[in-house]
Amino acid sequence: MKKGRFKTTLNRIVSWFPEPQYTRLRNLKLFEWINQNAPGKIVLNVGSGIGRFDHYLSKDIKPINLDISSSVIDVDIIADAHLLPFKDSSFDIVYSVAVLEHLKRPWAAADKIFRVLHPGGHVVFELPFLNVIHDEHDYFRLTDKGIRSLLDERRFEIVFEQIGSGGGSFLSVFLLECFQQFVPTKYLKTLWRISARYLFCLAKYLDCFIDRSKELRITANSFSFIGRKK
């Protein structure tokens, strides 16, 4: 079989096996809060991307989707999160899920988010902590205290914070990527991912046994945060 045909065949095989969900959200309070508070409000989704988390949101919520890429489906505004092109106090809620780690200057984006929020408006974040490098533009990781520092407690008061997902969710991705380094060729790596990803994604369910652990934050895969603009 020619090299090009073999590659095409592998890609077809991969498409038959959709990527599993590696992350087990510890609970959905972050999205429950949005569903309860966002209807009827002006909501901005910073870094809407492919809409991986949209299915958690109520159909009553119609956010303004902002992304830097023109190839994103259902994007309303193409813009850089460092330079939000809106007037001051334009939004009631700004939410962003797994985006700020991909920004070169997340503190600059946080300043712009503060600016475009109404006084009393809310910011809603979900950010990774322990996670593999998963994109060409992947710059930062933040602890729960790091998120507080980013938003500045003088500007935002804490409404809600939690561990978004635990160490098992990190382990599921880490094991796959770690062992893949021992696979020698590109084509074998593809076959490896097909065969191994469903096995390792099961590690996320380890979080079920440690949900009440006091040490859960030490190996957290992500943190969730809701803040109110003072």
Question: Band of the pLDDT at 15, cuts 50, 70, 90?
Answer: low
The full set of domains in the chain, from first to last, is 22-166+213-229 (3.40.50.150)
Q: Other CB atoms closer than 10 Å to residue 184's CB: what's the count?
A: 8
- Note the maximum CA span of the chain: 65
- Is the pLDDT at 54 greater than 60? The verdict is yes
pTM: 0.88
Burial class (CB in 10 A: 0-12, 13-18, 19+), 214: exposed
Render pLDDT for 177-210 as a digit per residue (tens, 0 to 9). Answer: 999 999 998 888 888 888 888 899 999 999 989 8
